Structure 1
Amino acid sequence: MKKALASGGVIINKRSKEIFLLKKKNGNWVLPKGHVEEGENPEETAIREVKEETGLNVKIIDYIGKTHYFAPATEKHPEEEKTVIWFLMETEEEHIKVEEDTFLEGRFFNFREAYNFLTFDQEREILRRAYDLYLIRNKEKKLHILMLTWEYPPRIVGGLSRHVYDLSKHLAKQNIKVSVITCEAPDTPFEEHFDNLSIYRVPEKLIDSYNFISWIYLLNISMIVKAMEVNKKEPIDIIHSHDWLTTFSAYTLKHTLKKPLISTIHATEYGRNQGIYTDEQRFIHNVEWWLTYESWKVIVCSLNMKEEVKHLFSLPEDKIIVLPNGIDTENLRTTIDVEELRKIYAPNGEKIILFIGRMHPQKGAEYLLRSIPIVLQKFQNVKFIFVGTGPQLNSLIEESKYLGINERVIFTGFIDDNLRNALLNIADICVFPSIYEPFGIVALEAMALGKPVIASNLGGFAEIIEDGKDGILFEPRNVQNLAEKIIWALTNEDHIQIIKNNAIKKVKEKYLWEKIAEETKNLYFKVYTEYLKTDW
């Protein structure tokens, strides 16, 4: 069978935004196109064929894509295996003169009419891509983003929940339609709708599951069902999956809807555990690889995380996008009287040193706990508050008793955001001794409130903090070094004031959600434009 190359165009009237179609003598409605002649390039062919078939003068404004099909024999051409190269075209003309030997008429239609009139599915898809591309070029396209996350407020397990909450809220403010699908939470409606933002919660439990992995798999099935309902009401443009836990639904939706997938890797299983040691960890690690492989782009929060995922998942450099986490200072408000709260936690005017994080080895709370006896040798009028819960909580409480410091230490367990924010406000120093930290939003929150932050010199902390200028870094796992940094901060009030001021300034300049949401929005449009020009 002969192979043939043709080219054609989707013609849009510049004034009316209507699309031109031709009606062939056999009744088929088609887009204008024709064979590439010897010595022509596809662009020249498209312009010539449009002029011959429609009488319109057009200009090419972008490339769209290709279609492939088998064309039956005609009077002019034998049976062919044809490839058609398509271009987005614009015209200011309205006078039509169709090629009467082949066509009955030619007309301009609005998009919906043109889409429904077109006879062939492949040309409908080319029209859809072309029209979206045209809207983007004219800044008239409103993207619909599907966000998949296993946690969303009030369900808060880690930092991922707050990240998705803030990102989705600020994207909505920038005229991006966001639909979040997540797991249900107690005393929370299954659906919530705001301007440009919809939250859909799916049942936590379909049937009994025998472990966490099987529970996640069932949760993803519910997410897929809900996403298909959402897409039926308003077609989704991009799927954005957060961490490995929504990979199963993200993969299925990507290939069912044929829409681009973006993933954000907030942390890796390898990093959390400082290695892969069990079958479950290996499974999660493999799912993380799978998610990044399937993704058009992979977002990470720091340069350190970029190197980590590039190495762990063998990702090409240009596939990874660094977009830092951000904060919304409105989220740090509290209704609690902070002066009265200080009297409760530090009744004798003690300096308050605050830790906030999960009681998990990753967060390194034990290193702060073990530094306390050294600090108390120099300063007795200090209280240490540990906020959070997790598998290490009971052992840390017991260790504080063993160290003889339990009267200087308060373990709050889990607390709500109102009290958490109040404690951030009354803290004199905030310490984050993680042994693995892709970013560390809580450190940014402390900096935004003008609190001196002492953090491990690793991961995201090392990128956020300039040691001695807007924060203090110490050698990870080094209890003596941490104690020395705390003592220094307690004795150098003038320098600490400079650090506070610089920290506030840095957060305002680099880490507010308005800016990060805008960068994310720009990435969405870049990916969607690439997708429109790519044959699936």
Structure 2
Amino acid sequence: MRICLVSEEFPVETPKGGIATYQYQISKDLIQLGHEVHVICKTLEKEDREEIFEGINLHYLSGKSELTLEEDFTYRNKVKSKMVELEERVDIFEVADWGAEGFYYLPIRNKPTVIKLHTPLYVWNSYNHLPMDERMERLEQDEIESLKLADSIYSCSNSLANIVKGTLPELENIEVIYNPLPQIKQNIKRNEQKMLLFVGSLEERKGVLQLASVLNDFLEKNLDFKVVFAGKDTDRNRFHTSTKKVVLSKVNVKFHSRVIFKGHCSKEDLEKLFLSSSVCIFPSLFENFPYVMLEAISMQCPVIGSINGGMAEIIEHGKSGWLCDPFSKEELLEVLQEAIDSNEKGKIAKNAFQRVIDLKLNKVAEATAEYYEKVIKHYEKKTLYHRH
């Protein structure tokens, strides 16, 4: 099969988040199964270009990191033109929901096109409380319209699928295929230190402010612990200012030296943090199926996840990790302390790793390829019917 993934994000130049990690990992896994993979993504350089990276055919389209409404219109039309150009070379397109990059292609498509739900803008912003400008309002509308136009939709978690079906009832047929497991490291040697780790963009949806609200109590009780935030600072919160500054404003100044902000980290630096942390916490208000948690699990780092979203579909509380309600300060602190004090963190981390194997996260590419084949057959039948 010849497959083309479409999203501006890809680890080489635009590693913005989980979509970039997903596009790289699923591409590598599909290639191992013998499929041909193309990716349409963004370059911040001035010229479009094509290159092969680790067997993946990359089609770079030039664009700024942050776009105006007019620039976004231009970029998405470039995506449409590239998809039309590639129609003779691919059997199916997969477009990420985020950014509605397939919006202008979908009405004129001549190849089956599916949309992968990562987290649509209207869901994402309901937790970040950002003011909606004209461009964001347009993107939100175009994302929803794209979902209605696609040949099929699938989600990386049941939780996200249910949210979308609940708000857009006409989209009742949404399949679920979890994100693939990151590359498994062999002979992992942990060097556990007294460190609580948070990994992710500093934004309200990620539960950063909820975590900050319990840090005074946590650091007072655990005098030998430090807290490390690994992720870029943003203003994606109800105060529309630096989330890092909001976190520090909630933490007593006497603890500031024990609250460390690493900023955006390379994959190698993140792996070192996973190996040295006592526990990694993801207290998100909502999270689809976070790649960073899978990366922590693959490094056998014990994890605390949120009950809100796809993490609850992986973690079995007290057996393969811990789950908390980030909206309950008391529960968040209680679960955090339980995890820190546990004498079975190593066993629980191994259980989590076995859990993702049992969920066949190492077989996601096979399931994805089967899904593509089903969509292609349905598209061909529908096209043949309309011709007659």
On whether the aligned pair clears a TM of 0.5, the verdict is yes
CA distance in 2, matches of 1:270, 1:251: 16
Identity of aligned residues (%): 27
Measured at CA, do residues 454 and 527 of structure 1 come closer, stay the same or move farther in structure 2, by a change above 3 Å? same
**AA at the equivalent of 1:224:** K
**Per chain length, whose mean CA-contact separation is higher, i.e. which structure has more relative contact order (CA < 8 Å, sep 6+)?**
2
Code of the residue aligned with 2:351 in structure 1: it is N
**Equivalent runs, 1:25-174 vs 2, <5 Å:** 143-154=1-12, 155-174=14-33
Deviation at 1:263, TM superposition (A): 0.3
Residue-by-residue CA offset, 1:325-368 (whole Å, 9 max, x unaligned): 122234x6999x986xx8xxxxxxx5111000111111111222
Residues 354 and 384, structure 1, Cα contact 8 Å, conserved in 2:
yes
User: Closer, same or farther in 2 for the Cα pair 1:279/1:314, shift >3 Å?
Assistant: farther
What corresponds to 1:230 in structure 2? 86
From 98, 110, 120, the equivalent of 1:258 is 110
Whole-Å Cα distance in 1 between the matches of residues 217 and 71 of structure 2? Answer: 45
- Counterpart code for 1:190: R
Match of 2:177 among 308, 319, 323: 323
1:300-328 Cα shifts (integer Å, max 9, x gaps):
111111111112222343x3110111222
Structure 1 CA distance for aligned equivalents of residues 318 and 275 of structure 2: 22
- The alignment partner of 2:254 has SS state of coil
Counterparts of 1:393-472 in structure 2 under 5 Å? 393-396=243-246, 398-399=248-249, 402-472=252-322
Report the counterpart of residue 505 of structure 1 in structure 2: 354
| Aligned-residue RMSD, C-alpha | 2.8
C-alpha distance in structure 1 between counterparts of 2:55 and 2:370, whole Å: 17
1:521 to 351, 369, 375: 369
Please tell me whether the aligned partners of residues 173 and 196 of structure 1 are also in contact (alpha carbons under 8 angstroms).
Answer: no
- 1:196 to partner: Cα distance: 5.9
Cα distance, 1:252 vs structure 2:
3.8
Is this contact kept in 1: 2:197–2:281, CA < 8 A? yes
Find the residue that maps to 2:82 and give its secondary structure: helix
How far has the Cα of 1:215 moved from its partner?
2.7
- Cα contact 2:46–2:62 (8 A) shared by 1: no
Q: Larger deviation: 216-225 or 461-470?
A: 216-225
Deviation, structure 1 residue 278: 3.5
Q: 1:194 to 1:417 in 2, by over 3 A?
A: closer
Residue 273 (1) aligns with residue 125 (2): yes
Count matched residues: 373
Task: Give the C-alpha shift of residue 401 in structure 1.
Answer: 5.5
What is the alpha-carbon distance in structure 2 between the residues aligned to residue 176 and residue 414 of structure 1?
33
- Shift of the alpha carbon at 1:170? 1.1
Alpha-carbon shift at residue 218 of structure 1 (Å):
1.5
Q: 5+ unaligned residues in a row in structure 1: which ranges? A: 1-142, 343-349
| Cα distance in 2, alignment partners of residues 399 and 333 from structure 1 | 41
8 Å CA contact 2:213, 2:251 repeated in 1: no
Higher Cα Rg: structure 1 or 2? 1
Measured in 1, the distance between the counterparts of 2:260 and 2:54 equals: 42
Aligned residue for 1:445, secondary structure, equals helix
Maintained 8 Å contact 1:358/1:388: yes
Superposition deviation, residue 264 in structure 1? 0.8
What is the CA–CA distance in structure 2 between the aligned matches of 1:423 and 1:486, rounded to whole Å? 18
**1:515 Cα deviation after fit:** 0.8
For the 8 Å contact 1:447–1:453, the answer to whether it is kept is yes
Partner in structure 1 of residue 239 of structure 2: none
Shift of 1:485: 1.4
Q: Name the SS for the 2:89 alignment partner.
A: coil
Distance in 2 (CA, whole Å) between partners of 1:255 and 1:406 is 53
**Normalized per residue, which structure has more strand?**
1
User: In structure 1, how many angstroms separate the alpha carbons of the residues matched to 2:330 and 2:253?
Assistant: 15
Question: Bigger shift: 187-196 or 238-247?
Answer: 187-196
What letter corresponds to residue 384 of structure 1 in structure 2? V
- Deviations 1:407-461 (Å, cap 9, x if unpaired)? 1111011121111111111111001111111111211221222222112211111
Q: 1:150 to 1:446 in 2, by over 3 A?
A: same
Show structure 1 runs of 4+ deviating over 6 A: 332-335
8 Å contact from structure 1 (residues 373, 403) kept in 2:
no
Distance 1:480 1:509, change over 3 A: same
1:534 aligns with 2:382: yes
CA contact (8 A) 2:94 2:116 kept: yes
Q: Is the 8 A contact 1:163 1:325 kept in 2?
A: yes
Q: For the Cα contact (< 8 Å) 1:261–1:297, is it kept in 2?
A: yes
Asked if the contact 2:216/2:252 (under 8 Å) is kept, the reply is: no
Match of 1:294 in 2: 149
